[in-house]
Structure 1
Amino acid sequence: MANGHSVTNDGAVMLLVSNGSADTDATITFNLVRTVDGQSVVPRVVTVGFARSIALGTFAVADYGTPLTFDVSSADISIQALKI
């Protein structure tokens, strides 16, 4: 499974995330570009239950940057990006 996924983010992007596994939860980890007192901020981790789909977003450019970058914990995750 390759990581380092990205989509163009202008602050009006949502992701539809589906976990195709029948028995294992998965995670999607969003990298944040914001710093606090010069220190990196801990990435945001979202759990997607097995056989579930969730909608995530929007993603503020000041926090998530453009592009929006993320990693997934499983090849069972599928992602669709939508501009709203």
Structure 2
Amino acid sequence: MSTVSPPISEPDPSTFACPSGDKIGPCGSCQRKTWKYGNGGSPLCQWCMGPVQQQWGTTVRHKNTRSQLTPPGPTG
């Protein structure tokens, strides 16, 4: 991106569109507040995602590398 990013203290604009405050977390690169969790979230703020998309293309997505936990079955 050719635009200069604002100071880290300024949140990513995605935080204003986030439906719930509990889905906001730090950017994985610069630690700026961003809509990180849930549907529509991204692990990077728009300023950190820009260079990544330039390198890898606009279809780049975050891949979940966490193992899927199985909920415990009924007891008894």
**TM-score of the pair, normalised by structure 1:** 0.24
* Greater relative contact order (Cα < 8 A, sep 6+): 1
The structure with the greater share of residues assigned to helix is 2
The structure with the greater share of residues assigned to strand is 1
**TM-score of the pair, normalised by structure 2:** 0.25
Look at both structures and tell me which one has the larger radius of gyration over its CA atoms.
2
